A and B are shown apart, each in its own frame.
Chain A
Amino acid sequence: MRYAMAIDTKKCVGCSDCVVACQTENNVPHGYCRDWVVEAMDGSYPNLELEIRSERCNHCDNSPCVRCCPTGASHYEAGGIVTVTHNECIGCGACIESCPYDARYSHPDGYVDKCTFCMHRVVKGEKPACVSVCPTNCMYFGDLDDPSSDVSKALKNRKYKTLAPEAGTKPHIFYLT
């Protein structure tokens, strides 16, 4: 079982609903965010192109953040979800330094926090809050090992890319282009 997410950049409008929904679902404090939206534009008027991406922790296969954690607080859960056990985290910040995607942050309560793929929802068979709320329905989540899951179907028929593949982390958020 390997959880992954596929996001269709062609449909995403950058409304940032995923960011607010994550905030209300996971009590993310104001001023912090577990996911965010990036707009990448290229060209000169009027020959322009725009890509909009909703980014978050990529729950990598080869996570540097899990490797470098001195206490083991940063670890893999079933399905490859990378999480932090709050009362094992000492707040040293090594994992924040090690993430090429700047996906982690230091929570005001002291521990390090980041996207958890809404594990508390996934274990009950629901989708993460961001996927469930997206008005353009451009986010697909599911088990990559299951060919009938939303994410597997999305990846089958479209071209996709990951972020900074050269960092060697084997991320599991795929952007359909």
Chain B
Amino acid sequence: MKEEIFVSGRHIPNIDPYLHIWHWQIPVYLFLGGLAAGILFFAALYTILGKEKEMPTTVKWATFLVPVALVLGLFALFLDLKHQLFFWRLYTTVRIESPMSWGAWVLMLITPLSMVWVATYIKELIPNWDWKFEILKKFEKLAIEYRTSMAWVLLILSVILGIYTGILLSAFNARPLWNTSILGPLFLVSGMSTGAATIMWMSKDHFERTLMSKIDLILIGIELFFIVHLFMGFMASSEVQIQAADLFLGGQFTVSFWVFVVLLGLVFPAVLEILELRGYKIPVAIPAFLILFGGLMFRFIMVEAGQITRYLY
């Protein structure tokens, strides 16, 4: 029998017996960040491709959600901090080796930029909108002129935002469940998929909806492919990764992951979307909601399970 125990009574809150230092705030932020990244990606992409007319929701209306999502996400992050008075320290330095530092700066750039993007379309939502100040009116004109350049910047930043949420977790080699390079791309694709689902949900245009639906299907396919690879990778790694994977293959997260994330969040909406494309009438809210739900659940499960996995003992 092997017995390895603390004899000095160690029982630090949130660290023993299992690490649980990040609570709901982090998965909520990751979800909102991914969602914002997805929406911005498509908005930027279709602006660059010159398809603003065919894809109004993509390029305009969905992006109104982005500043809200980002601000809410940032607020959730702020709530997670335990030394909140000093949060401004994040912006006094750029630490290349710290994904969290990248994230802080990317958000610093993308949030105002997305607000500017939204500001350029605000007159289309509220016709009587008045900027009141001359300088703002001038700025609006400038922004609309440079919309394509903004789109390029947003395209790159949104990819960075989407992928960094995964790299943030995968950089922690102390948490075997996260320490896989597939996590970055997986989170990016998941974010894009939730973005596409939102656009699909919001869109009133049949063409746009169908296109987004098809794109979403491809993204779901890629996501499923990544998930399979994720687990293949774990099972072929060392013992700590095998034990991490066991949490999902018979352990406490098996049902919640495979049912809520894979089945309900990916496979079932994909089936519904295929049926819709084949001509059956499916209210778009159902697959869209399920994809969003699946994305949120995925992040909750990954954050919680990842903290449980560990190296020693």
Contacts and interface: CB of A to CB of B under 8 A. Distances in A.
- A and B physically associate: yes
A39 B2 contact: no
Interface in A96-122: 96-102, 105-106, 109-111
A114 B252 CA distance: 31
16 contacts: A33-B10, A41-B1, A41-B2, A64-B171, A70-B90, A70-B101, A71-B95, A72-B95, A89-B83, A90-B87, A91-B81, A92-B80, A93-B22, A101-B311, A102-B16, A167-B173
B12 interface: yes
B86 A87 contact: yes
Contacts of B238: 166
A130 to B, nearest CB: 11
Nearest to B175: A97
A76 B84 CA distance: 23
Contacts of A109: 83
Interface in A31-81: 31-33, 35-44, 52, 64, 67-73
Contact of B90 (A35, A90, A93): A90
Given A87-B86, A102-B15, A92 B100 contact: yes
B92 A71 contact: yes
Among A87, A94, A166, find the residue whose CB has the most chain B CB atoms closer than 10 A: A94
A96 B26 CA distance: 14
B249 interface: no
B90 to A, nearest CB: 6
A53 B259 CA distance: 43
Nearest to B303: A97
Given A40-B3, A69-B98, A100 B21 contact: no
A168 interface: yes
Interface in B39-86: 80-86
Given A36-B8, A70-B104, A111-B82, 12 more contacts: A31-B11, A42-B1, A52-B7, A64-B174, A68-B98, A69-B98, A88-B86, A90-B84, A90-B87, A92-B81, A97-B21, A167-B173
Interface in B169-218: 171-175
B19 interface: yes
10 closest A-B pairs (Cβ-Cβ)? A91-B82, A91-B83, A110-B83, A70-B100, A100-B174, A16-B8, A36-B10, A70-B101, A37-B8, A71-B89
A82 B171 CA distance: 19
A73 B89 contact: yes
Contacts of B8: 14, 16, 19, 33, 35-37
A106 B5 CA distance: 22
Nearest to A42: B2
A105 B11 CA distance: 11
B134 interface: no
B7 A43 contact: no
A2 B93 CA distance: 27
B130 interface: no
A71 B86 CA distance: 10
A138 interface: no
Contact of B172 (A44, A91, A97): A97
B147 interface: no
Contacts of B126: none
Contacts of B4: 38-41
Interface in A133-170: 163-164, 166-168
Contacts of A87: 86
A98 B14 CA distance: 15
A155 to B, nearest CB: 22
Contact of A163 (B97, B99, B171, B312): B312
Contacts of A70: 90, 95, 98, 100-101, 103-104
B310 to A, nearest CB: 7
B305 to A, nearest CB: 13
Contact of A100 (B5, B99, B101, B312): B312
B6 interface: yes
Contact of B5 (A38, A89, A93): A38
A101 to B, nearest CB: 7
B307 interface: yes
B90 A39 contact: no
A37 B21 contact: no
